Amino acid sequence: MNRVSVDTAGRPPSVDALARELALRHSLPHAVLVDIARRAIANGSLTDVKKLADELAGDLVQSLLREVVNATGVLLHTNLGRAPVASQTSSRASNLELDMATGERGSRQSTVGKLLALLCGAESAIVVNNNAAAVLLVVAALANSRDVAVSRGESVEIGGNFRIPEVTEQSGARLVDVGTTNRTRLRDYKKAIDKRGNDIALVLKVHPSNYKVSGFVEETPVRELATLSVPVAADIGSGLIDNTCPWLETRAPSWLSNEPAARQTLNDGAALVMFSGDKLFGGPQCGVIAGRADLVEACAQHPLARALRPGSTTMLAMQSLALSYLNRTATKEIIFWKMATINVSELRERAKQIVTAIGFGEVCELESIPGAGSAPGATIESAGIVIKGDYLAKLRMYTTPIIARVKDSKTFIDLRTVQPDDDQTLIQALRSLNS
């Protein structure tokens, strides 16, 4: 086959010839390579068309979604998809909206919602696209054209430009600021509710995630807010179901001590709780609304509910997770809880075996973190491997990318977030550093 080159008249190569040349080095569809060739010819000089095309194709290949090995020690790494979930391999259809008893159309929410409600100690529950969608739907369904009371200390921006004031505005409700940035008391909420001209339909309690004010601070807990004359909707964020963690063989880990949980928040009197499915719950990206049946139904019947509903893959995963929690088999079947509860002595032993296999590096003590705004400031004892030098880029370019971290010109591999089945892949990637 002829190689691409500038012809003797100084003209660039043809689009087709350049695309076929690229196909020898990049496994991309021909239509994609043709587009890359056109862009390279249009934007490159006569002498660097081929180089530019190669760079464009290489950049695209690297940007494609793929599986990676998370060796960062961040259990819920937002850039890596948060909670890892095993992929569904079956190509069969599902009875997503088929009532198996009658053969008629049913609800995608009914069965999964009942399981989640039972798990949370709620009357009812539904699933939406993510927790931002859950908050938006609750406020839109329950407070449209009315007021929502939010503490100034909780009127926050969380990751991805999720701002409470803007979400409230988009829902059609009006935000009423309560208290001050650092101190908000029950009487502040009462004053706002009783103030002439206010039409407060809902108190929104927001878990501030990674945002924290320390020192001279005070907030009003849900059990006190529940004494008010309007319902309380609590955005607990991270998706901890029960702070006693009954699915664990041991008591709840200390790093969860300050994390709000769905069951306890509802027991304290919240009318609704909203939380993420892809954080401490350990599932796919989605959001859950659980609580009073009449309020959940109002959310389910709102026009936004259809736009925010998840598909069958998400619902099947949430059903599987709910059953694992109810069966108390979470530490065996939910990847997040496997990572969170593995004994550090096992991590040290795996680290020793890897160091022996690759012939360099050292075993080291590390501290993992929950991540994704869950249990901010908390750490989990861990162990892994440290290698002198910065190998982030090389490991990231490996066939199965290894995502590690660097500090003080040393590369750290935290094994708490590496699945044991990936140890051999990790060994091969580390060996490649010396090749």
pLDDT tens-place string over residues 345-383: 999 999 999 999 999 999 999 999 999 888 888 999 999
Using pLDDT thresholds of 50, 70 and 90, give the confidence band for residue 108.
very high
pLDDT on residue 227 = 97
- Report which secondary-structure segment, H or E, holds 307: helix 304-307
Note the pLDDT tens digit of each residue in 172-186: 999 999 999 899 999
Same structural domain for residues 38 and 119? no
Say if residue 1's pLDDT is above 60.
Answer: no
Could you tell me if residue 393 is inside a domain?
yes
CATH code: domain of residue 245: 3.40.640.10
User: What CA–CA distances, in Å, run from 176 to 143, 155, 312?
Assistant: 12, 10, 38
Nearest CA to 289 out of 141, 143, 125 is that of 125
362 or 89, higher pLDDT: 362
Cα-atom radius of gyration of the chain, to the nearest Å?
Answer: 26
Domain region containing 217: 110-333
pLDDT for 88 equals 65
Same domain, 156 and 235: yes
Check residue 159 and give its pLDDT. 66
pLDDT at 115 over 70: yes
Q: What secondary structure letter does DSSP report for 334? A: -
Judge if 56 and 73 occupy the same domain. Answer: no
Q: 383 and 296 in one domain?
A: no
The predicted pLDDT at position 89 comes to 64
Same domain, 122 and 48: no
φ and ψ at residue 395, rounded to 5 degrees: -70, -35
User: Could you tell me which residue, 245 or 169, shows the higher pLDDT?
Assistant: 245
Give yes or no: residues 405 and 357 share one domain: yes
Domain count, the chain: 3
* pLDDT tens, residue by residue, 10-41: 677 889 999 999 999 999 999 999 999 999 98
240 and 154 inside one domain: yes
User: Does 184 reside within a domain?
Assistant: yes
Residues 50 and 174 in one domain: no
pLDDT of 246 higher than 90 = yes
Domain C-terminal end among 276, 304, 333: 333
Same domain, 255 and 278: yes
Tell whether 217 is covered by a domain: yes
Which of 101, 220, 201 lies closest to 151 in space, CA to CA? 220
- The string over 19-32, giving b where at least 16 C-beta atoms fall within 10 Å of a residue's C-beta and e elsewhere, is bbbbeeebebeeee
CA distance 418 to 402: 10
Residue 28 falls inside a structural domain = yes
Q: Are 173 and 146 in contact (CB under 8 A)?
A: yes
- Rounded distance between C-alpha atoms, residue 367 and residue 178, angstroms: 38
* Residue 162 CB-half CA count within 13 A: 20
**Amino acid (1-letter code) at residue 244:** T
pLDDT for residue 10: 61
H helix runs in 97-163, sequence order: 110-120, 131-143
C-beta separation of 379 from 368 below 8 A: yes
Burial 307-323 (b: 16+ CB within 10 A, else e): ebbbeeebbbbbbbbbe
